[in-house]
Structure 1
């Protein structure tokens, strides 16, 4: 890749330079290229890397000298470089870009509720295996409650479109059907607010001392563009963020043993603040440590509402990752509108943006009502698929609902889980971004989402099992009133 051989982050320390207590620190992303013939920095020879490092040091010194010589041009209250200084920096030899690091937000809305239930058993395992061609089948048998819709984020993606029939003696199949490989051997990296496994420890079971033993870890914490390793799980949070559960709930949706899609996948949390410099550091860490064709990344964040925050530096790093065989799933956003222009992730090439359908409640048609865009979801031609946007974190066995959350943050995580199951089930295939996107589109349910913007692809996430089963309502009633 020749368009950007090396990227570094400059920390503009206004307090130090100007002794101004009112000033805040700000970060700028400076992209440089030594030569158009250089490879990516990590792939270059040691001698070339040394030459690049020396060049970076020289440019750093030049930039700080420019800052000192033009300090009278800054708006000290905001601590931004003046337009004049940015233009001077851009004209330095080997400098490609100079942009202020921008903030992102998590795509989550919050709901809470309580519950009550019923049950199901009526499927044909042989028929499912014949249809899906899976090596093995596992079934999470979930009771159905048309008020709470617990586990619907799982059952909806493992069957064809449910159609309501008036006066029918049958009801919706709430079971989750998935390949027995279930993401085994696949690494899921989550760039988010952090991880607190105490929120629901059962979902983070590592299956220790079993053939399915997996990794649940927090690789590091990233703030101000700086990576710091995490040695104790309780340190895996960005304390400055208001929504400290977001990353945990996203992880549960993707890999949770009870409430997640890829129940045997590995989890690598990168607890990351909301600056694009932080995301850039996280993406670079993944490039250094991920296994090609065995890794999926979930990013459930993006620009603030009404703000364009596209980053060429982020695009360059994404391009490096997809060339390396890494799959990246991103949230479409919770902007209630088309969200494909000027955005830090949905506008990027090489990612798979996911919108959300409305599985948070139903009306007269029962589960058929869920096949419509969630009221918060972004849309547009860049949105490749839609998935359930509401998850209900439930206890195993008694179905007690601990928390209900909605947002494209979770439709993205659910899709990342499906990607992990596809990769583990087809371990002989080296999936690239292009192959995985094609696979997801091929498996998806077409034209089932009502009232969707005509410029938005009408595709609903499916894991390969499209047979639709229904249980007898009389069986449900018997289960509801049995002890």
Structure 2
């Protein structure tokens, strides 16, 4: 019995010692840290929550640390955390969770034709004349209606030609396809890219990127993972980019393993709002956040709502898990634009990785996509819904350039309602068929070959 008793005491003490970092948001952000600590101390003494040890409470409260104007972190065990949450001054408390960014899968360039054929299980000579636009929408954005004023990029990656095309065509295959028609900027637009960082020195992005804040402790403001540079090249790259005149601000929130945390993300969004006010007070902005989380975070949802309220639309990837996008945050939030993906040749939904369902707002090219890597990695070909989100972010930036007065709801509605319907095939049930379109209504893109 004595032996059992000792084990029992040990297990209690061991469980009691297990703590983790929590995020705390208070109802009144103007109250001093000392006042908050006093209030929480009084709560513990008043309510005497069962299982809470005074010594442990003191230790937890001593770890309270302010992260930004509305967020604190605190180290606590589960029982103490419940006590903290019961305080009347606490708005929300939740664990600080590590989150891995969406993976982009490398595709060997030399195997692209065979992979496309295998991927879609269709011969290259398939006749898709029956896949046509049922009704070409009138774009809900004020672009130049004269096709002669649009610039032309020859030999573009297939995703660009597809974005500027009304019709679907089987010859629109990777890596080259239809010519890309696009517009130069009418007004400046800032694109905040919350990702693994960006290499501003690659030729594709030379002169286009400002390195903003780095929220990854122990790492330089360098893109070790390569994810952020890839997305930046699709947003505004000289060759692969949708909106060539985008002003990209890199905000590093993912480390070399492509991992971040809710505290990092929340702090980064707070920085974005401050930076926009300080450096671009009259410039329209858009955010790209290609990261998904399968859990619940009231604080994360609140910060996306606040960003939306402050006039910025966030574009988010639907996720690469082949499941319902409504199971992921922030994909399911009304305050974001969620993007699923499809591939080249027959415009088939990327069923082998893209999330689906009613929380997906629009589709865009996401497989066999040419991107730029950091350092001396050069161009590469990758798959992932992050790429589709980058393409739509570039489109959103171009729309804002011509419609700087658009509110987030206006921009989201314009992208969705102006998209082309019923061209993407093999789309899962309860999933949109709308494919992003940049509004070019000139002569049909021609085919060019090297």
Relative to the length of structure 1, the TM-score reads 0.68
Moved over 6 A (4+): 60-68, 71-74
Change (3 A) 1:448 1:64: farther
Q: Does 1:133 align with 2:139?
A: no
User: Which residue of structure 2 lines up, in the alignment, with residue 189 of structure 1?
Assistant: 192
Describe how 1:223-242 pairs up with structure 2 within 5 A. Answer: 223=216, 235-237=220-222
* Cα deviation code 1:72-121 (max 9, x no counterpart): 999xxxx984332222111112112221011222222222314999xxxx
1:373: how far off?
A: 2.9
In structure 2, C-alpha distance between the alignment counterparts of 1:131 and 1:184, rounded to whole Å: 12
* Cα deviation code 1:181-216 (max 9, x no counterpart): 2x7510000001111234xx221132xxxxxxxx52
1:174: how far off?
A: 1.7
Given that 2:193 and 2:249 are in contact with CA atoms closer than 8 Å, whether structure 1 keeps it comes out as yes
Q: Does 1:113 align with 2:109?
A: yes
In structure 1, C-alpha distance between the alignment counterparts of 2:220 and 2:44, rounded to whole Å: 34
User: Which residue of structure 1 lines up, in the alignment, with residue 235 of structure 2?
Assistant: 254
User: Which residue of structure 2 lines up, in the alignment, with residue 422 of structure 1?
Assistant: 399
Describe how 1:88-107 pairs up with structure 2 within 5 A. Answer: 88-107=83-102
Given that 2:143 and 2:402 are in contact with CA atoms closer than 8 Å, whether structure 1 keeps it comes out as no
User: Which residue of structure 2 lines up, in the alignment, with residue 329 of structure 1?
Assistant: 315
1:26: how far off?
A: 4.0
Given that 1:184 and 1:265 are in contact with CA atoms closer than 8 Å, whether structure 2 keeps it comes out as no
Change (3 A) 1:258 1:116: same
Describe how 1:194-233 pairs up with structure 2 within 5 A. Answer: 194-198=197-201, 201-206=202-207, 216-223=209-216
In structure 1, C-alpha distance between the alignment counterparts of 2:390 and 2:274, rounded to whole Å: 22
User: Which residue of structure 2 lines up, in the alignment, with residue 32 of structure 1?
Assistant: 26
2:290 to 287, 300, 324: 300
1:55: how far off?
A: 3.8
Unmatched 5+ residue regions in structure 1?
A: 1-19, 35-40, 42-48, 118-127, 143-149, 166-171, 207-214, 229-233, 360-366
Given that 2:325 and 2:357 are in contact with CA atoms closer than 8 Å, whether structure 1 keeps it comes out as yes
In structure 2, C-alpha distance between the alignment counterparts of 1:293 and 1:408, rounded to whole Å: 28
Unmatched 5+ residue regions in structure 2?
A: 1-13, 46-51, 61-73, 114-138, 255-259
Change (3 A) 1:388 1:164: closer
User: Which residue of structure 1 lines up, in the alignment, with residue 181 of structure 2?
Assistant: 177
1:180: how far off?
A: 2.0
* Cα deviation code 1:256-296 (max 9, x no counterpart): 11111111110100111310111101111111122466000
User: Which residue of structure 2 lines up, in the alignment, with residue 346 of structure 1?
Assistant: 331
1:85 to 51, 76, 80: 80
Q: Does 1:381 align with 2:341?
A: no
2:371 to 377, 390, 393: 393
1:447: how far off?
A: 1.8
1:178: how far off?
A: 0.8
1:235: how far off?
A: 3.5
1:163: how far off?
A: 3.5
User: Which residue of structure 2 lines up, in the alignment, with residue 169 of structure 1?
Assistant: none
Give the 3-state SS of the residue equivalent to 1:452 in structure 2: coil
Q: Does 1:320 align with 2:314?
A: no
Change (3 A) 1:164 1:98: closer
| Cα RMSD (Å) | 3.6
2:444 to 469, 472, 478: 469
Given that 1:315 and 1:349 are in contact with CA atoms closer than 8 Å, whether structure 2 keeps it comes out as no
